[in-house]
Amino acid sequence: MICYNNTNNTITIHTKNSTYQMKIDSKGVLLHTYYGPRVRSGDFSNWILQEDRGFSPQPSEAGLDRTYSLDTQPQEYSSSGVGDFRIPSIEATSLDGSYTVDLRYVSHSIEDGKYTLDGLPSFYDNGGEWETLRVLLKDTCTNLTVELLYGVFAECDLITRAVKVSNSGTNPVSLERVMSTCVDFPSGTFHTITLGGAYGREREPVRMPLTQGIHTAQSIRGSSSHQQNPFTILCSPDTTEDSGDCWGFALVYSGNFLAQTEYTQFHETRFVMGIHPFHFSWKLKAGETFCAPEAAMVFSNSGLSTLSQRFHKAIRLNLCRGQWKDARRPILINNWEATYFAFDADKIVSIAEKASKVGVEMMVMDDGWFGERNDDFRGLGDWDVNEKKLPGGLSALAERIEALGMKFGLWVEPEMVNEDSKLYRLHPDWAFKIPGREGTRSRHQLVLDLSRKEVRDYILTNLRNTLSSAHISYVKWDMNRSLTDVFSLSLPSDQQGEVYHRYVLGVYEILEALHQEFPHILIEGCSGGGGRFDCGMLHYTPQIWCSDNTDAIERLRIQYGTSFCYPCSTMGAHVSAVPNGMTRRCVPLHTRGVVAEAGTFGYELDLNELSEEELAEVPQQIAHFKKNWELVTKGTYYRLGNPFEEAPFYGWMHVSEDQTRALASVVTGVGHANPIRGILRMKGLDPNRDYKVNGTVYGGDVLLHVGISLPILDEYRAVQFEIEAV
C-alpha cells in the first residue's frame, strides 16, 4: 500500500511486514525517513537533527541557516557536488565540464500494477498484486530529470527500485554514475553480509561489522562474477538465522556492479547499489532517456531465514518466467566430466542407453559438437555441426536419444570466439580489441562485441538454426571468460564508456528472443559455473549452473551461500564422478545424491563406470527426488547450521507451506577420533502437531526444541528424515 499525506508531505510504502517512507522537505529535497518494521502512519523524520555541523555547507535555499546541510540530510536519491560528501547516487558531466547534479522534487504518482523496463529484466506483476510509485526529481540547471520507480509487492515484503534519467535540456550530458537504489539509515551499528569467493568457491558469505568508511562489493569483469555477487545484507549485530533485523538488496543485473555501504562521520549509514562507474559513461543527448537496472529490497525483523525465504518466493514466482519456472526440471545427464572433448555420436548414445535404464530423462551433449572443436583452442563461433563426430547432424543424434525415451539437450557458448575459427577469420573486428594493442586471451578465446547489431543478429540466427534443426529440449548457455579490451569499432570515442552496458543489453536481447520463440526449451545459465548467478539472468534462465566445482562437500558451502538470496529451484546441481576432478575427494554416491537433490538434480558422469551396487542406487535417488521435488522447489527452505564452521554435521530442511510435510537432510563433517554426537533441531514445523519421522512419532515441539540425536557416522555421510504430520 502506497500512501501520500499532503499535510506533512510524506510518501509511505507499507508491505505486509515493513514500512518505507520518504518526505518532501521545505526546500524540495526528497528525504529518506524510514525503512524497517511495519509501523502505523505518521511522519518519521523526527530523528533528523538540524544543527550546525562544521565543514557541512549549506545550499542556497538555506540562506543564513547554518543548521541545514545536504551533508546531514538523509536523502532518497543522493546528489553530487553540492555539499553532500557521502556516496553520490548520480554523477554527470555537463557541456561546460561541470559534474554537479542537484535534484529537487517535482511530482509523484501512484498506480496499480508493476512498472516495466524496456530491454532490462525485472520482477513482474503476476496478476494485480503490485503497486507502482513514480517520483520525479529535476536538476534545474542541467535540465536532467530523474524518475524514481518503486514497485511494491506487499505479500513478499518486496520493494523494487529503478531509475530513469532523461535529458530535457538542449545540450548533451554524459552520465558517469547512475545508482539504482540509495537508502540512508540513522544508525551505523550494522554488520554487512556479502557473497565473495572465487571460481569453484562461489558465493561464500562474508560477515563484517561496519567501521567508519566505505565497504564495497563489486565486479568490473563484465559479468556479476565468481568473486562477488550483486547481493548484500545489512543486519543488526545480534541478527541470527531466526531473530533480528536485516535488510537484503539484490541487483537485477548481470554486468559490472557496485554495492557500497558507508558508515559516516555521524555514525549513520548509506547504502547504494547499481551499475559500476568503472569505464562507464553514457552520452545522453537532448530528449534521450537512460534506464538503470532494477534493485530489489526485502526487510525482515525475524532473522536471515525469513529474509531469504521472502527473496526465494518472489524470485521463483515473480522473476523467473515461462513454463519451467515452477515445474519439475527433467533429470539429466551431462557428458562433460565423462568425456570432455573426446566423444562421438556412439559414445553419447552409450551414455544415454545406460542412463535411460535407470530413469534419467534427458541426455545433454556438452562442448565439442561443432566446428573443429576438438579442444578449447579452436572452433568457437562456428556453430555448424561437426559431422565427423555426429554423422547426420543433431537431428540424427536427437532421434537416437529420443528412441531411448529421453529428451535431448546441448551446450552453447555464443558470446565467445576462437581466433582459430571461420568466424574470426571472416570478421576479426567483431571481437573486442583495442586498436593498436595486442589482445588479451582467456581460455584461448576472445569476446564478441554484442553491442553491435550485426553480431547479435549472427548469434541469434545461428541459435535459431541450431534449435530448429532437431528436437532440442534444453540449452546450457555458457560464458567462460571475463571481459577485457572492451572497445567497439561501431561507436565513436565519446561513447566507448557505453560498451560494457550495451554488451549486457545485447545478451538480454538475444535471450529474450529465444524465450519468446522457443518457450518449450529450458535454458540453464552458466559462466564457468557460477560466474553469472544473478537476478538478471534468472529472468531469462530459470536455473543456473551453481559451480563447476561438483565436489559434494564443496557444494554444501556453495549452495549454502547461494541460498541467502536464490531459491533451490534455480541451483543447477549434479551428482558427479569421484575422485572429484577439482578436489580429488571421494564422497559416497548417496551423499552426492542428497546434496544434488537440494537443487535441480542430475548427473555429470559416465554411468558405465559405476559399480553394480552404485548403479542400483541411481534409480532410488531418482525416485526419491521425484517424490520430493515439489517440496524442494516450492517448500520453505531452512539452513540448519553453517558448513563453514567446524561441526559434527551440516543440514537443511524443506517444509511444505501447510507444515504437513518436510524433508531434513544432514551431511556429516570431517571425521575425528572419539566423535561428538550431533543433535538435530528442526525448523519450520508446527509445535502443536505430531509428526512421523522415518516411522517414529514425535511432537513438533520436541523436534523444534529437543531435537533428534544423530547416529555416529563416518565422515561425509548423509542421512535424510522424511517428516509427515499425523
Give the Cα separation of 561 and 205 in Å (integer): 6
Give the Cα separation of 653 and 116 in Å (integer): 35
Give the Cα separation of 382 and 370 in Å (integer): 7
Q: What's the grid cell of residue 495?
A: 561513447
Q: Under 8 Å CB-to-CB from 219, ≥6 apart: which residues?
A: 225, 227, 228, 230, 255, 256, 257, 276
Q: How many CA atoms are closer than 13 Å to the CA of 580, on its beta-carbon side?
A: 20
Phi, psi of 693, rounded to the nearest 5 degrees? -115, 110
The single-letter DSSP state of residue 367 is S
Long-range contacts from 20-29, C-beta under 8 angstroms, 24+ separation = 20/159, 22/76, 22/135, 24/105, 25/73, 27/59, 27/61, 27/62, 27/68, 27/104, 28/61, 28/104, 28/105, 29/70, 29/73, 29/75, 29/103, 29/104, 29/105
Helix or strand or coil: residue 232?
strand
Q: What is the largest CA-CA distance in the chain?
A: 86
Q: What's the grid cell of residue 79?
A: 546528489
**Helices then strands (H, E): number in the chain?**
12, 38
Q: Under 8 Å CB-to-CB from 156, ≥6 apart: which residues?
A: 15, 16, 298, 310, 313, 314, 318
Closest to 121 measured CA to CA, from 571, 600, 525 = 525
**Grid coordinates 561437426 are at which residue?**
386
For 15, 25, 110, 149, 184, the CA distances from 41, given in Å and listed in that order, are 13, 18, 17, 22, 20
Kindly name the residue from 614, 617, 630, 686 that is annotated as catalytic: 614
Instruction: Give yes or no: 204 in active site.
Output: no
The single-letter DSSP state of residue 252 is E
Phi, psi of 570, rounded to the nearest 5 degrees? -95, -5
Instruction: Give yes or no: 614 in active site.
Output: yes
Which residues are 32's β-sheet partners? 22
DSSP string, 94-147: -TTS---B--EEEEEEEEES----TTS-----SSS-EEEEEEEEEETTTTEEEE
Kindly name the residue from 534, 551, 597, 604 that is annotated as catalytic: 534
**662, containing H or E segment:** strand 661-668
Query: What is the rounded end-to-end Cα distance, in angstroms, of the chain?
Result: 39
Give the Cα separation of 20 and 573 in Å (integer): 37
**Taking CA 539 as the corner, what is the angle to CA 87 and CA 566, rounded to the nearest 5 degrees?**
70
Q: What's the grid cell of residue 148?
A: 524514481
Give the Cα separation of 271 and 86 in Å (integer): 10
Q: Under 8 Å CB-to-CB from 457, ≥6 apart: which residues?
A: none
Give the Cα separation of 657 and 48 in Å (integer): 41
Which residues are 244's β-sheet partners? 302
Closest to 633 measured CA to CA, from 662, 599, 666 = 599
Catalytic residue positions, numbered = 534, 614
